[in-house]
Structure 1
């Protein structure tokens, strides 16, 4: 566990980079005040520890259900907010579920919070001469297409036995690199639909995110989650197929019900309502189905309670959640690392965390990506393998500096 700044940070987040969900008016004007780090094997409850840390640094996270928006100073050196990252493994610890296989990127923390202050002016990014040329090697898959398909079949058998109703199965790949990975990771924010686009970096690690999915947002006394489940190519035919697919709709509604249950677990929350159901939106050349679930939040609910209720996200675990986590631990040979967790912003009067799908991470030697999909009894193993590849392709192409089809259209920015 680390409190304070590390002198060895060799992937510091450039001031020109956007931290996911941070205020647009403050981009490039932050100064790091202090940081918190927790990893599997460290002592203590990570939800309580990070809440204590943020509270001690002036963020009222022990009462995130407040309904009155306050006016906060914005001068040089005043508190702006905090970036928060929670890995899928840490989410499992918070939920009391199985953690699963070891991460392929152990230098990344499992919980990280960085408290940031307003700066008097926007610092200039480093001059190009200070950056080493970036080169990306070949991708190495952690399992074959046959292994992936076999895991889908095993998940279907678990569903047939009645162990679970649905489970998300995720694969991993990595590639060696040379040079500075930060510009490559920062390009992910430019993918259309990257609602939580940006970069967070620390001591020997960095995370780049292009996620379109809201894990949880709290603003004005209301808690909101926007689960995404169901994918097709962003063509006219793909949209029709998604809307007409009984399998995709059933899978989606199961996750919406799970998210409703997660929010209902919050003390004093309710009534929980579905504001929008199975809306088709675009992310970087893919149609995806998204719903909006929300509830009024009672005064006095704290961050630790919220994290325990929503982490890991239902759309990347399955139903029932704890049984799905047990199945994931059996099926996936490589840990989820930076993916399928939470990444976003906590301000003095709101919280906004994205689910880290469409996310990549760098350690000192390799870049890592993850992708998968939800498995039901009706799942076709070959189609599930293809869907995971389709989700991963824009991320891999962007990291390599290649153009991504469909990236000139407006996606999920509202």
Structure 2
């Protein structure tokens, strides 16, 4: 069976994020699927741009076929929007040509921005095959929540129309968050029988040894010494959306406890601002490591005693949380301190940590103290998270769900 995925940022380990369909593609390849990913040649998250030759470039990456559509680079928001339109236009233009082979069985339009739905719908209609619209972020809802732009902004109106078009045309709406079915039902009187939950996660080639915390002792490193610190860590992008300022405020509240340390790994637009904030408070219990290679992330996670994930309180989060870092924390077997507001809390589902409301540093500090003083709880939560990850978020599990869906679509839609 041949699946074609159209997504703006179809990354790989050689180019950078987003790598969801690279890893799902590897898992589906093991189930005898053929995967083609149609993607933009430029995306601001790539750390290495693909080599392109003309408007359309074909490349095989680890058994997955990539089709790169040439698009312009950008530095500012307006350029990013132009890049989105350019990719959507070229995908639509080439959808009925030799962009992909004739033997297509299912077409997937994968967000975050929904403009790929037009090209995907054209290809699916021409080949008379099922169309699946996969939602990773609720645009325009999340954009409006983060930017504060009015609902009548032209870009948001276009996003809203495109979302309506996707709901109308797609045979199935898939999402990485279970609560998105509520959103589509409320907004579009959507038949929830057409909804498919396909969670985020990642693909584990080999099962590594998970470094669960011991049931006695709380520190990292040599756990037999009382001087070993209790390390609260964060790995990921540094922006106002991820609530790192609240973590710094919590570190300020706990600065008199010499056994507690905070380690922040990652880069982003707010790195210098956050460093200045910690410097202004004269904090000596927090360290900014900067970005590290993806291959070093697990090693960083193994050095933590607890992991932090925070999100700004926006309406879109009400329908669920799907941060990749959260599943990396679960996979590493670490207890999670989560700071967000949602009706669908994966930390609660997994029973792998403590959730507190967004914007409440004192409750974050209390959660740190609770874990530090209860090593057996740390062990229990970390083990629960690791088990939950392998049962629900390892991409071989997600790929099996897609395997069943794709085959059922092929049978029911002629």
Question: Do the two structures share a fold, i.e. TM-score over 0.5?
Answer: no
Say which structure, 1 or 2, has more relative contact order (CA 8 Å, 6+ apart). Answer: 1
* TM-score, length-scaled by structure 1: 0.24
TM-score, normalised via structure 2 length: 0.24
- Structure showing greater radius of gyration is 2
Higher relative strand content: 1
